[in-house]
Homo-oligomer: A and B are copies of this chain.
Amino acid sequence: MSAYFNDTFIAGEESKLHVADLSIQRGYAVFDFCRTVNRKPLFINDHLERFFASAAAMHLPVNKTKEELIHIIGQLIQQSSLPEAGIRIMLTGGYSPDTYTPAVPNLLITCNPVKTATEADFEKGVSVISFEHQRELPHIKTINYTMAVWLQPLVKEKKADDVLYHHNKIITEFPRSNVFVVTKDNRLLTPARNMLKGITRKQVLSLAAAILPVEERDIHREEVYEAAELFLTSTSKKLMPVVRIDDIVIGEGKPGVITRELYRRFLEKEKNQ
């Protein structure tokens, strides 16, 4: 496992930050995460565009171009012998002299084994609970997952796999995934604001356009409870059916036909990248 730190390739074990870094002092950093298929980074342009947008929104300059980052990531993948790798590109607030003011950012890129959802995971689906919470600066991919990690014991206690945030009953997103609803009259709904726009979400929206009407808009939790199908999307989970939310079984507790068709087309797309 190798990594890249600022301007140098380093061993994975050496991927360390001094405690003065603003990520450790104040949780101030952005990142993006992609995975490889056929030893190539999937949707890398979209991921890097979002990474640059996150960095700019957090007032953190990136001292590399997109092309330079693609080159570095390519070398990391080549150096590793991983059939499937997860690439994490991180930019922090840097070594702050007063532990508060951003300094020259630290850039850290790691390449590690990644566990993605299998077709067996898809068939099983996941159970979720809903929870009132609005993430701070939701359109920026910061490292702030305080609430998500903090909620893990509750999720476990409720025998669920994940948590769907809502604010005043309007659903927004999972901590690391986007949410999609298939209505009983065969429309596809997904939130349009107060959440992070996922790269897999973008692909699904594009694939869905050929299949059924799509609406990006506010969705009330009641519409989720009455959904014909419900699924989430993320880089590592791909498309994943949600078969239960807050003790309400969705569909017949199995992946729905629309979800399955979108999943099939998505797998096709990533295979042919």
Contact = CB atoms under 8 A, between A and B. Distances in A.
Interface string A1-25: 0010000000001011111111111
Interface stretch (A40-48, A61-69, A75-83, A137-145): A137-145
Contact of A144 (B13, B15, B16, B27): B27
A133 B13 CA distance: 39
A149 interface: yes
Interface residues of A, number: 44
Identical copies of this chain, number:
2
B150 A19 contact: no
A86 to B, nearest CB: 9
A143 B19 contact: no
B59 A26 contact: no
B59 A27 contact: no
Contact of A146 (B13, B137, B152): B137
* Interface-central residue, A23, A24, A143, by most chain B CB under 10 Å: A24
A26 B145 contact: yes
Given A17-B17, A28-B150, A100-B149, 12 more contacts: A15-B18, A21-B24, A24-B90, A25-B143, A26-B145, A28-B146, A93-B149, A100-B145, A101-B149, A102-B149, A133-B136, A142-B146
18 contacts: A3-B19, A13-B18, A15-B19, A17-B17, A17-B24, A19-B108, A24-B90, A25-B143, A26-B148, A27-B29, A27-B143, A28-B150, A93-B149, A100-B149, A100-B176, A101-B149, A142-B146, A144-B146
